[in-house]
Amino acid sequence: MKVLLINGSPRKQGNTFLALSEAAKTLEANGINTEIVQIGVKPVRGCIACGQCKQKELGRCVFDDDICNRISEKLEDVDALIIGSPVYYGQPNGSLLSLMQRMFFSAGDKVVNKPAAAVCVCRRGGATAAFQTLNMPFQMMNMPVVTSQYWNIVYGREEGQAALDTEGMQTMRTMANNMAWLLKKIHTGGETNYPEREQWEPMHFIR
């Protein structure tokens, strides 16, 4: 089993990385492989609602000049997903949101039924709003949301300060242990029986 952790911070070794690393170490201790990928500092396109990924059944975004499709390709071979972000003005990093929107829309079939968790890192406030924003796509994609002893929030401003948030680090470990437990329940004991779902019947309020 393998978990993909996406670091939505432009700072490669910053506090978001520390929080995700704590979760990754706990998963590894449970015998689950991990990979942390960073979105980096290069521009990430926003979705322009062209619909080409669906119309042409590409399984990827039509724009191939940033990191989006590189990360989407990894979704096929992982069993769960953790997405972490710093908090900017009470919101996740805008580049990360652009990535998530394009990734889930163009390659959403690769994440259905896979457990997911969000992690937010902030200096002081706004983390709960950012945390809620990151979690909302998981629910739309039929991804079981993994919980912890508290919301998955870690506090720290300067690089390395997240390590001083002992409760936050414990929350990361608890979340990772819960994810490991759920993955083992899903993938052991014979054939996996996912819930049968009705065909989606979308509607608009304007008729």
Q: What is the pLDDT of residue 190?
A: 56
User: Rounded to whole angstroms, what are the CA distances from 23 to 4, 75, 122, 175, 201?
Assistant: 11, 18, 17, 7, 37
**Measured between alpha carbons, how far is 86 from 155 in angstroms, rounded to an integer?**
10
Q: Which stretches does DSSP call E strand in 39-194?
A: 80-88, 91-92, 116-122, 153-155
Residue-wise pLDDT for 36-90, tens only, equals 999 999 999 999 999 999 998 899 999 999 999 999 999 999 999 999 999 999 9
The torsion angles phi and psi of 23, rounded to 5 degrees, stand at -65, -45
Q: Which stretches does DSSP call E strand in 47-112?
A: 80-88, 91-92
pTM: 0.93
Q: Taking all residues of the chain, what is their mean pLDDT, rounded to a whole number?
A: 94
- Non-local (6+) Cβ contacts of 150 within 8 A are 167, 171
Q: What residue segments make up the domains of the chain, in order of their start?
A: 2-187
Percent of the chain whose predicted confidence (pLDDT) is above 90 = 87
**Measured between alpha carbons, how far is 186 from 180 in angstroms, rounded to an integer?**
10
Q: What is the pLDDT of residue 199?
A: 83
**Measured between alpha carbons, how far is 12 from 79 in angstroms, rounded to an integer?**
24
Residue-wise pLDDT for 129-178, tens only, equals 999 999 999 999 999 999 999 999 999 999 999 999 999 999 999 999 99
- CATH, range 2-187: 3.40.50.360
